[in-house]
């Protein structure tokens, strides 16, 4: 990887986060390796975000996405970017000054340069550093199995070669949350990732507009992603088997949660899915088919 050929486009989606966006932008402008361009995609902010950027950061490319959702905002930024690498930054997070430089150097020194590089991170909740649980421990290489249960890569830590989106697709705009989980699954089913074990970003939590705070039952969206992925995998492959097992596990979690809350429509919805997938799996095992037939029940989620 030659530094002079690297053109990094930074893509920052935002919605009514003027108070944290300045911190995020400042961390980009302080990078030891300067990005090719900085793109902010505004999702309809009404808190002075646009005027703040225009006044304080005139070199930032400001785009507008009317379709609400972080996926649509990120996708617009990717499509209109001019770089050959994409670095995402959520508007409530910030980077270490050497974040991009360290990712570039580590990938350049890697025996086989990879198309996705992510880093370790510091978590802060209401400005207080929080210890991460073991299940959130980051890793590199083939991390597909680890990605099945929960999101293993933070968007703000990722540096991705732009042609990945041509090969894997963009962020799914049909789900309001867990869109990063969905994308990492699709990527990690195909390729390895490089992990830089250095705390090169700070993730800020504790505010009410976080997606994890906004939506209940995040496994609803993970089930949707697992169903989608199964339709692309060979039935005889190990990736299919571990994905299928995780799907059944998460369906059981949703069903049991619905039973506890006496939510009969949710229980019925996910019981039908579970029965469908168990039947489909049995059918494929008992015939020469290696791909799941066209799925009527798949790729949807329960909402109220």
User: Consecutive 10-residue runs of the chain (304 residues): their mean pLDDT?
Assistant: 79 96 98 98 96 98 94 98 98 98 97 96 89 87 97 97 98 96 98 98 78 79 95 93 98 97 95 93 63 50 60
Distance of alpha carbon 157 from alpha carbon 194, whole angstroms:
11
What pLDDT shows up at residue 283?
Answer: 81
> 278: Cβ–Cβ under 8 A, 6 or more apart, which residues?
248
Contact (Cβ atoms closer than 8 angstroms) between residue 60 and residue 28: no
Is 301 inside a domain boundary?
no
Q: What pLDDT shows up at residue 214?
A: 72
Nearest one of 183, 159, 209 to 75, comparing CA atoms: 183
Bridging pattern class, strands 85-88 and 61-64: unpaired
21 falls within a domain: yes
Instruction: Quote the domain boundaries for residue 245.
Output: 219-285
CA atoms within 13 A on the CB side of 87: 30
Residues 166 and 260 placed together within one structural domain of the fold: no
- Is residue 294 a part of any domain in this protein? no
Residue ending a domain, choose from 170, 198, 214: 214
Q: Three-state DSSP class for 206?
A: coil
Q: Is residue 108 part of a domain?
A: yes
User: Are residues 114 and 131 located together in one domain of the fold?
Assistant: yes
| Integer CA distances (angstroms), 150 to 110, 129, 144, 178, in order | 27, 22, 11, 9
| Predicted local confidence at residue 57, as pLDDT | 98
Indicate if 116 and 224 belong to the same structural domain: no
Q: Does this model's pTM top 0.75?
A: yes
Number of structural domains found in the chain? 2
Tokens for 230, please give them. 């199964």
3-class DSSP assignment, residue 175: coil
Strands 159-161 and 116-125: antiparallel
What spatial distance separates the first Cα and last Cα of the chain, rounded to whole Å?
48
- Residue 66 and residue 193 in one domain: yes
Residues 17, 162: one domain? yes
């Amino acid at each position: 990887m030659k530094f002079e050929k690297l053109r990094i486009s930074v893509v920052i989606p935002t919605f009514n986060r003027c108070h944290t966006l300045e911190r995020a932008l400042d961390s980009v402008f302080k990078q030891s390796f300067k990005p090719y361009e900085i793109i902010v995609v505004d999702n309809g902010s009404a808190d002075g975000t646009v005027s703040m950027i225009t006044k304080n950061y005139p070199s930032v490319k400001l785009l507008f996405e009317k379709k609400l959702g972080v996926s649509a905002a990120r996708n617009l930024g990717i499509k209109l970017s001019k770089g050959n690498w994409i670095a995402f930054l959520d508007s409530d997070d910030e980077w270490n000054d050497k974040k991009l430089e360290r990712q570039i150097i580590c990938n350049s020194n890697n025996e086989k340069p990879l198309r996705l590089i992510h880093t370790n991170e510091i978590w802060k909740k209401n400005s207080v550093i929080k210890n991460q649980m073991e299940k959130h421990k980051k890793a590199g290489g083939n991390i597909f199995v680890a990605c099945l249960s929960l999101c293993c890569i933070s968007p703000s830590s990722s540096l991705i070669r732009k042609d990945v989106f041509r090969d894997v697709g963009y962020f799914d705009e049909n789900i309001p949350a867990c869109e990063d989980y969905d994308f990492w699954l699709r990527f990690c089913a195909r390729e390895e990732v490089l992990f830089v074990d250095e705390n090169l970003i700070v993730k800020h939590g504790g505010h009410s507009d976080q997606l994890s705070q906004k939506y209940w039952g995040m496994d609803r969206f993970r089930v949707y992603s697992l169903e989608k992925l199964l339709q692309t995998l060979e039935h005889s492959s190990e990736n299919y088997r571990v994905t299928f097992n995780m799907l059944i596990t998460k369906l059981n979690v949703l069903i049991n949660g619905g039973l506890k809350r006496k939510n009969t429509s949710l229980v019925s919805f996910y019981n039908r899915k579970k029965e469908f997938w168990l039947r489909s799996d049995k059918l494929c095992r008992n015939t020469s088919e290696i791909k799941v037939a066209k799925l009527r029940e798949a790729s949807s989620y329960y909402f109220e």
